[in-house]
Amino acid sequence: MTEQALEGLIYCGQVLIPALFPFMVLSELLCELGFFERISFIFSKPCSRLLKLPGAAVGAVILSMVGGFPVGAACTARLYERGLINHEQGCRMLRFVVGAGPAFVIVALGEKMLGSAVVGLVLYVAQVLSQLTIAVLEGIISKSEIKDKKYNPIKPPPFSETLINSCFKSSDSILKLCAMVVVFSAFMGVLSDFRLLSAVENLMELIRIPSSISHSLVYVVLEVTAGCSEAVRAGAPLEFVAFAVGFGGLSVHFQIFSLLGKLNISKVDFFLHRLLTGALCSGYTYILSLFIQGEVQTISLSTPQGVEFSSSTIVGSIALIFCCLVFVLSLKRSRRITPPRSGHIIREEAK
């Protein structure tokens, strides 16, 4: 158990903190500087008609697709705290703003584990399509009505103060994430020491579940990185690896719960939608893989290479640069913004 806990700490230092902390600081900055309020009136019409959400929610959706699992959820919680979305909208958003970032799916999983960045791209596109599918379906089902509201820009605090507060809040969040990773790593060590993993594997084989799936299923349920690694090592089907990416693992689920603050959600509802996302991701992967049969057949299903991904990877750097550009543009806009006339409006849910 001690060794696994130490591995969890190493994973946090080498992978989790470098990959997520910059995105979390940027998302906090964008939120504190009022960027989401400024873009809300731009996206209000398409967002309200398609997703039944205020325009400010678009920022969280985008960040969830480029920043990694907890970033979209953390941004959603911040939007709720600032009153830009209500409780129903926040709970609905958490059903689809949770997803692995391109640095993990394309580089770590695709290029490093599977030996093909193209296959990693297929998995990433499948995940994004799964998120968008649930988002649109939730919008169709939702009976929320959006009404017009005057846009009143609020002058943000000084940049230095905002930067310091964003770093402090992000540091607190990243410590919570690391704590959950260490706990789940130690828990998997306990299961391994008491041979419970072997017992579960033997039980699943009795009901004719393929050994490639039964060997890695417990890992997939508990922690996404270890789950994907074990699934690839065991030679599991690509669709099962896609399910692991979409589901996320209980470790990620608890990490997200630790960041939600005052936004209380149904844990059962969240878990069921993670299962749905995993199933959709698996289905989309099957469809997309039909177009790259040759690439799928030649991917390496041997022992995965060491996984290292962070904002220093090409994909992570592109995503981080994108967030920086958005941040810089929001600063320029804040300098020249003037109080709007009555024609400038955003949309918000009717009470």
Closest CA to 273 of 86, 96, 64, 70: 96
Tokens of 252: 């990620």
What pLDDT does residue 152 have? 56
With a CB cutoff of 8 Å and minimum separation 6, the contacts of 42 are: 55
What pLDDT does residue 347 have? 40
Q: Answer whether 76's CB lies under 8 Å from 85's CB.
A: yes
How many whole angstroms separate alpha carbon 313 and alpha carbon 340?
41
Q: pTM for this one? A: 0.75
Phi, psi of 150 (to 5 degrees): -65, 140
Query: In this structure, what is the dihedral angle of CA atoms 24, 142, 38, 324, given to the nearest 10 degrees?
Result: 30
What pLDDT does residue 150 have? 52
How many whole angstroms separate alpha carbon 348 and alpha carbon 56?
9
What pLDDT does residue 192 have? 76
How many whole angstroms separate alpha carbon 72 and alpha carbon 91?
12
What pLDDT does residue 84 have? 84
Tokens of 257: 């719960």
Render each residue's pLDDT in the chain as its tens digit; 351 residues: 678 788 888 878 887 788 778 877 887 787 777 776 676 667 777 888 888 888 888 888 888 888 778 888 988 998 898 888 889 999 999 999 999 888 788 877 888 888 888 999 999 999 999 999 999 999 998 877 765 455 555 566 788 888 888 888 888 878 877 887 788 888 888 887 777 777 777 888 788 888 888 888 888 998 888 888 888 888 889 999 999 999 999 988 988 998 898 899 999 999 999 999 999 999 999 999 988 776 665 554 444 444 444 444 444 455 555 555 544 444 444 444 444 444 443 344 444
Closest CA to 225 of 50, 320, 100: 100
Tokens of 7: 């591995």
